Structure 1
Amino acid sequence: MSDKAFDISALRVPSLPTKGLGTGVVTLLILLGLFFTFYQVQPEEAGVVLRFGRYVRTTEPGLRAKLPLVETVIKVPVQRQLKHEFGFRTLEPGTRSVFSQRQFDDEAIMLTGDLNVAVVEWIVQYRVSDPIQYLFKVRNLDDTFRAMNEAVMREVVGDRTVTEVLTVGRQDIETRVELELQALVGQYEMGINIEQVVLQDVNPPDAVKPSWDEVNQAQQQRDRLINEARAEYNAIIPRARGEAQQAILQAEGYALNRVNSAEGDASRFIEVYEAYRQSPTVTRRRLYLETMQRVLPKIGGKLFLAEDANGVLPLLSLDSLRQSIGSGAPVPPGGDQ
């Protein structure tokens, strides 16, 4: 060891640029303060401001400010339509949507009212109507909302037969689920407005689908035959009814005509009888003359003479003369006798 002692005071510490470092720190703090102070709320959103985890206010869309490190902001999409899918998942929405190949049987398989099974896939579209209730009234809101949807859909499907669920009852199911679900979320104050419930696809299980298709085809054939029979019925029955009504009207008209004719004949007979009873000779002669007036025109150019007639006076048939003149035939010198 050297006898010469080490002098620590001879050491020099290098000087740092304190002025430049302080400016950089201040600038960084200012930038951090601005970053944590101002925030942007999009047009379809509402900003919910919390101070130490407690709600203080709701902000509108635009550039807003808050107390850094004291207040936090949760942005809620109040103007955007949200949706939940049940029984399937959409991986890539668009014109040709891509769906997940995974099976969600625990959501889709349901028991109908007639103890059959149907696979029901549906979509619930909704909007956030109250961001405060949406964030703070219900814990695990998404899970709770999905459980509500499944419960309501199973209840409504369980009240109907499998035929109604698969065919004619779909619109009624959508309306019923929408109303009951809206009442339920209102009861729990979830801040959600149900806009639409859409049955995406409803089918029988894959194991029985071929049999169901055969039954469906048989029902369609039955309906077709029924419609054809009804069309033939509508074409034949009204015509037959019209013909029957026409025959009835003709019979009634004929009966009325015969009755009126009989009543007229009876009335005329009674009148003649009364006249005959009061004046037999005159009535007998009138009846004779009326009868001759009806009979003589039908027997042609013949002359009837009484037994006591002494001679015949030649008569000129004016009718025959007129007919001969009109036709240009020669006129005979004498008339018919």
Structure 2
Amino acid sequence: MAWNQPGNGGNKDRDPWKNQGGNDQGPPDLDEALRKFFAKLGLGGNKGSGGSGKSGIPAKGVGIIAVLAVIIWFIAGFYTVKEADRGVVLRFGNFHTLVESGLHWRPVFIDTVEHVDVNNIRSDSTEGFMLTQDENVVVVQLDVQYRIVDPRNYLFNVDNADQVLSRATDSALRYVVGHTTMDEVLTRGREDVRARTLDLLERTIDPYSMGLQIVDINLLPARPPEEVKEAFDDAIAAQEDEERFIREAEAYAREVEPLARGQVRRMLQEAQAYKEQITLEAQGEVARFNELLPQYKNAPQVTRERIYLDTLQDLYAKTPKVLVDVEGSNNMMYLPLDKILEKQGRRVNDLSPLRVPTDSNMNQSGNSGNSSSSGTDSGRTNTRGGGR
């Protein structure tokens, strides 16, 4: 019957250690339980006669227990370090050695191992409202990527190296932004801000020897506070238009400049060619007059007349207009040689100069506008070359 079962003779205070017959069994004997356990294992027995003696653990059983404990302790000392990790072994809480990846053994309760990931890149970010040099407030966010290069320094040189790096990053970013204008932070100076922040951060954490190496930092696009965002958008749009106009002007300059340089070179070449032409012509004239000089000295009058006639021939060959002045008459005749020759299909420059009858007694060195030609039976005329 169950303990304190209702309806059992009205007795509601029965002893749980009594059987149904009312005999008092008492609490279980711990020594008896141990004795039975070791008896089953064949490691213990009874002392005294009739089983009235106390049970105990023999020396053989104690040795086996000790051996089992040593085996368990030895097996528990094996541990594995992952490929990306390095193991930092601590002996009684102090640094002992570094172990590479793989299977290792340590004495349990004497050595402990801290696993540190040294291959994977870690990331941390900082963000907040920051005051620029021109006293404007901007929201700046920066991501820093780093990895652990010295596990011992990472664990023991500073307390919580990751948190120290985060605070150093925030401090370096605020310092750089505080010495930069708002326009540079928002637009054209972002790369400079990133480079200066990286340099300042490295110089800040180097004295602490935290065992960390900065891989790279990424400055996310800064933005103004929401209250003034529209005004900032207008300012940025104006700056973009300015940059666009500058690029268009530079493109136009790159297009026009080569043409101008080509024209300059062409003009220089033409000038050089003209210079050489004039020089050669002048040298030719000098040579011609040097050749005429001995002839002039031998026959001055004949040479002078010949030069005069050659000069008139050249002048008349170059003009299409001839004026004929008849002596004793007030009428002057105009001969349009260019029109006449166009009708005949001949070029003016290919013909010899026109010769008209003149007075044979006319002085050839007289009037500069008159020229003399061979006389005929039709009369005497004077010719003048040139325009009206």
TM-score with structure 1 length normalisation?
0.65
Q: Residue in 2 aligned with 1:81? A: 121
Matched residues in 2 for 1:25 and 1:161: separation?
A: 76
CA contact 1:36–1:69 (8 Å) conserved in 2:
no
Q: Residue in 1 aligned with 2:85? A: 45
Equivalence map 1:135-284=2 (5 Å): 135-235=155-255, 239=259, 275-276=295-296, 278-283=298-303
- 1:264–1:63 Cα change, 3 Å: closer
Matched residues in 1 for 2:309 and 2:240: separation?
A: 82
CA-to-aligned-CA distance 1:117-166 (integer Å, 9 cap, x gap): 22111211111111111111112323222111111111122222222222
Q: Could you say what secondary structure the match of 1:76 adopts?
A: strand
Q: Could you say what secondary structure the match of 2:142 adopts?
A: strand
Q: Could you say what secondary structure the match of 1:201 adopts?
A: coil
Q: Residue in 1 aligned with 2:105? A: 65
- What displacement does 1:17 show? 1.8
- What displacement does 1:187 show? 0.7
- What displacement does 1:167 show? 2.0
**Which amino acid is the alignment partner of residue 93 of structure 2?**
G
- 1:36–1:120 Cα change, 3 Å: farther
Matched residues in 2 for 1:307 and 1:44: separation?
A: 124
- What displacement does 1:245 show? 7.0
Matched residues in 1 for 2:153 and 2:195: separation?
A: 25
CA-to-aligned-CA distance 1:63-116 (integer Å, 9 cap, x gap): 2221112221111111221121223xxxxxxxxxxxxxxxxxxxx221222222
CA contact 1:122–1:201 (8 Å) conserved in 2:
no
- 1:287–1:70 Cα change, 3 Å: closer
Identity %: 33
Q: Which moved more, 1:164-173 or 1:39-48?
A: 164-173
- 1:150–1:118 Cα change, 3 Å: same
- 1:288–1:237 Cα change, 3 Å: closer
**Which amino acid is the alignment partner of residue 158 of structure 1?**
G
Q: Could you say what secondary structure the match of 2:222 adopts?
A: strand
In structure 1, runs of 5+ residues without a counterpart are 1-5, 88-107, 309-337
Q: Residue in 2 aligned with 1:54? A: 94
- 1:46–1:234 Cα change, 3 Å: closer
In structure 2, runs of 5+ residues without a counterpart are 1-22, 44-60, 318-350, 358-372, 378-388
- 1:115–1:27 Cα change, 3 Å: farther
CA contact 2:355–2:374 (8 Å) conserved in 1:
no
**Which amino acid is the alignment partner of residue 182 of structure 2?**
V
User: Larger Cα Rg: Structure 1 or Structure 2?
Assistant: 2
Q: Which moved more, 1:158-167 or 1:31-40?
A: 31-40
1:121 to 141, 161, 165: 141
**Which amino acid is the alignment partner of residue 352 of structure 2?**
K
The yes-or-no answer on 1:298 pairing with 2:352 is yes
- 1:271–1:210 Cα change, 3 Å: same
Q: Which moved more, 1:221-230 or 1:298-307?
A: 298-307
CA contact 2:356–2:374 (8 Å) conserved in 1:
no
- 1:126–1:274 Cα change, 3 Å: same
Matched residues in 2 for 1:305 and 1:70: separation?
A: 142
CA contact 1:45–1:76 (8 Å) conserved in 2:
yes
Matched residues in 1 for 2:164 and 2:227: separation?
A: 32
Matched residues in 2 for 1:75 and 1:58: separation?
A: 10
Matched residues in 2 for 1:132 and 1:222: separation?
A: 54
Matched residues in 2 for 1:187 and 1:300: separation?
A: 107
- What displacement does 1:237 show? 6.4
- What displacement does 1:172 show? 2.7
Q: Could you say what secondary structure the match of 1:69 adopts?
A: coil
Q: Which moved more, 1:201-210 or 1:246-255?
A: 246-255
TM-score with structure 2 length normalisation?
0.58
- 1:31–1:175 Cα change, 3 Å: farther
Q: How many residues get paired?
A: 279
